[in-house]
Amino acid sequence: MAAVLFWLLAWYIAAKIIDTEILIPKPFTVWKSFLVLVKTTDYWQTIAYSIIRILTGFAIAYVAGALLAAATYKSAVLRDLFYPLFNAVKATPVASFIILALMWFTTGLVPVFTAFLMVLPTVWANIGEGLEDVDQNLLEMAVVYGMGRGKMIRHIYLPSLKPYVRASFKSGFGMAWKAGVAAEVIGRPDLSIGKNLYHAKITLEMPDLFAWTFTVVAISILLEKLLSLAVREK
């Protein structure tokens, strides 16, 4: 709390020194704009649609990444095929993929695709590393004692993968959220946080821009904590 108060004070002092609302609005002005926003139905609908789009891309990427990790764990040929592709994805600016996606999909699907593409390599790498680190002695012992595939997955693979699952959830969601909102800013689908950010920017409504930015940060922190709780160690 002390750190939050410190930065609010620094923000207030900077706003007072510059004394130009079009550049840095005062915290109280932003707070008033935020209160106006939260009283509207559009605000909550916009948040819901943005979350649905980005979580959809994140979920698809997570399932696809886990399945690909399992496939490449068993096949060196597949691993050699996907490794340079995912390296290229990680090295390419997200804006390039957003522009390409605008050529391929409707604006509503662009954030889904962007979130999917940004998360997929991370999940694949984390889950793949976890599979590589599974104790081979335990696997050999399980085979000797005739343990079925299902029991091996439940009692050996899944416990070993828990730290990697948590790590990929945490890093993957952060990437998905930032990339998804960026895709909304460029694509501007209806009922999206990104479209409201863009509109506030072009109309020079700085208090609204700050209020929507605060919304983006708050949702990111909240959802990341909820997802972390969902995959925490029992």
- The arithmetic mean of pLDDT across residues 206-217, rounded, is 94
Find the domain containing 197 and state its range.
Answer: 28-230
Instruction: Give residue 83's pLDDT.
Output: 87
Question: Is the predicted pLDDT of residue 200 greater than 80, yes or no?
Answer: yes
Q: Where are the alpha helices (DSSP H) in 39-157?
A: 41-74, 76-91, 94-104, 110-132, 136-144, 149-152
- Of 10-14, 181-185, 217-221, highest mean pLDDT: 181-185
Q: What is the pTM of this model?
A: 0.85
Instruction: Give residue 185's pLDDT.
Output: 95
pLDDT in tens, 90-113: 888 999 999 999 999 999 999 999
Establish if 205 belongs to a structural domain: yes
Comparing C-alpha atoms, which of 122, 112, 56, 37 is closest to residue 86?
122
Instruction: Give residue 146's pLDDT.
Output: 66
Residue 226: C-alpha distances to residues 18, 60, 173 (Å):
38, 18, 11
More confident residue, 231 or 30: 30
CATH assignment of the domain containing 118: 1.10.3720.10
Token pair, residue 17, equals 């020194």
Structural domains of the chain, count: 1
Establish if 133 belongs to a structural domain: yes
- The arithmetic mean of pLDDT across residues 13-31, rounded, is 86
Establish if 107 belongs to a structural domain: yes
More confident residue, 152 or 59: 59
Mean pLDDT of the chain: 86
Establish if 18 belongs to a structural domain: no
**Sign of the four-CA dihedral 167, 171, 173, 176:** negative
Lowest mean pLDDT among 55-59, 66-70, 163-167, 189-193: 163-167
- The arithmetic mean of pLDDT across residues 81-89, rounded, is 88
